[in-house]
Amino acid sequence: MWEQYGAQFVQGVRLSHFYLLIASWAPYCSHMEKKLNVGNLETRLLLSQEGRDALLAVLDQRQDRRRVGRSLEALRGRSRHHLTLHERDRTEEQLKAMMLPVLLTLGGTFAAFGPAPNQTVFDIPGLEVMASDKYPHFTTIETVSRTKVHRHRREVIAGPIYDWHSNEIPYQIWGGDFNFQGLIRRGIRMWEESTCLRFRENMASRDAIRYVLEKGDSCFTEYIGRNGGHQDIIIGSECAEEYVVAHETGHALGFWHTHQRPDRDRHISINWKNVMEEATASFMPFRSMLQAFGIRQVSPRRVPYDYGSLMHYHAVAHAVKVSDFTIVPKELKYVTTMGTEKMAFLDAKVINDIYCPNACVGRSNLNCLAGGYPDPNNCAICRCPEGLGGADCSRLQSSFCGGEVRATDQWQTLNSPPGKDAHCYWRISVPDGSRIRFRLSDGEFPCSYGCQSYVEIKHKLDVRLTGFRSCCYRPKEDTVSESNQIFVIYHPNGRTARFTLRFKRQF
């Protein structure tokens, strides 16, 4: 693979070093871009290339590559990774004609969604269809077209100095009507509900996150972590959605992208030939977890790689061709888990570890199990991974459907309940020392990267991790759990969906 994509990879490395050197020029160049009112991608890229050529000469003269700036992607043009509303409609039509089988060879066979033109389903060995209608409906995040891309002027955390001083984050909303202001508040509420952070609106503050409405399709954050002064998060009118606000706010809080962790090559592969050239820096891995998270106590051991992180790109982010992947998970069953619109359990835990690690010290005697911890918003209860609940995270999360199921030596079947609004949790268990063999044998879901409607199966030993969510793809072969239990989570989210799961005890 590296031989095949070598040219793109080398070019990406060279450009990333260049971006690091010129990072401090980013605010000036951004000002120039606004002043010149550059209105199209071609002109912006031309301007960027002119600046690159001039500054590369400076790089050759100075030969100083140690300087770490505040941006990896300065002057690379607008490389937007969120779909606009108009682009979503257009992309859906493209996908109806373009959704050809992606030949995946990284282990395992898969059942895939997506009819080809004039076909109800693909006739491909090893693949099956699990679609709720003739054509899959894609309404997902972080896909990019060739003419509309996303601009970043940020990207490196230098360390704890860039954390916010406390768990109270000042913010301002510039522009927009009542609906836009409500959108911003709902987006930041996603962080408040899961963490100790409290966002305080303060229009007089000179050190605050500033949410700015702009006309167009660009949604981006100026910096990773706290920069000091007004720190803009630009929300374009065509990509203004709650999860976009939450994702970009995550950058301002100190998060970089999950798929750029230094251990990412153990979990994903990058299809460099399908990555847009101007987006190369967004796929380059960091060298250390300190860079990736900005705090020394975070490590891969404490924060395992989570395909379901809010900060993870989806499978076709920044794609030259939306009919092919840019990010391929090593465990292919997670291909539609990436790019979620939800906050992951570990996303919130990292923030709580940074901003309020001692919130419940001396105030709680709870012994939270399964990776849970005392909730910093209410130290009398445990914050548990999804699927678990009770006083100590040992019980199944309560729901109006679902329940505890004991697997036997014979194949058993679990079917989804009727209705579009059922949110169900099942725990299937066997005695200690045994495992569970299971397979999604049937199902129908609206297809979207990040799976807005899905069945999720958590079969890993670490139950904090997001399970694999099936809507477009499902494993064709059996899967065996890593422990003596699996959790089945069903979220149709108001849409017509169904699934059938077969399972039995594995000795």
- Would you call 485 exposed, middle or buried from its count of C-beta atoms within 10 A (0-12, 13-18, 19+)? buried
The confidence score (pLDDT) of residue 201 equals 96
- CA 219, CA 213: separation in Å to the nearest integer? 9
The confidence score (pLDDT) of residue 157 equals 40
Q: Are 138 and 471 in contact (CB under 8 A)?
A: no
Most confident of 126-130, 138-142, 169-173: 169-173
Selected residue with higher pLDDT from 130 and 473: 473
Assign 238 a pLDDT band (cuts: 50, 70, 90).
confident
Examine the pLDDT at 190 and tell me if it is beyond 50: yes
- List pLDDT tens digits, range 44-92: 223 334 444 444 443 344 333 223 222 323 222 233 344 444 444 444 3
Q: Is 82 annotated as a binding residue?
A: no
- CA 354, CA 320: separation in Å to the nearest integer? 37
Examine the pLDDT at 143 and tell me if it is beyond 70: no
Examine the pLDDT at 130 and tell me if it is beyond 90: no
H or E, element range at 45: helix 41-62
Cα 400 off chain centre by:
29
Instruction: Let me know if 3 is a catalytic residue.
Output: no
Predicted TM-score of the model (pTM): 0.73
Q: Is 298 strand, coil or helix?
A: coil
Write down all domains in the chain, each with its CATH number in brackets.
401-506 (2.60.120.290)
Tokens of 371: 């990776």
- Three-class DSSP labels, 345-356: HHHHHHHHHHHC
Type of residue numbered 503:
F
Give the length of the chain: 507
Q: How many CB atoms lie within 10 A of CB 160?
A: 14
Q: Is 251 annotated as a binding residue?
A: yes
Q: Is 257 annotated as a binding residue?
A: yes
The confidence score (pLDDT) of residue 227 equals 85
- Would you call 192 exposed, middle or buried from its count of C-beta atoms within 10 A (0-12, 13-18, 19+)? middle
Q: Per mean pLDDT, which range of 284-298, 384-398, 417-431 is the poorest?
A: 284-298
- CA 369, CA 360: separation in Å to the nearest integer? 16
Q: Cβ neighbours of residue 63 under 8 Å, at least 6 residues apart?
A: none
Helices and strands in the chain, H and E counts: 8, 22
Q: Are 93 and 177 in contact (CB under 8 A)?
A: no
Residues paired with 488 in a beta bridge: 426, 457
- CA 34, CA 215: separation in Å to the nearest integer? 13
Of 142, 248, 278, 444, which residue is the catalytic one? Answer: 248
Assign 184 a pLDDT band (cuts: 50, 70, 90).
very high
H or E, element range at 188: helix 178-194
Sign of the four-CA dihedral 358, 359, 361, 362:
positive
The confidence score (pLDDT) of residue 228 equals 87
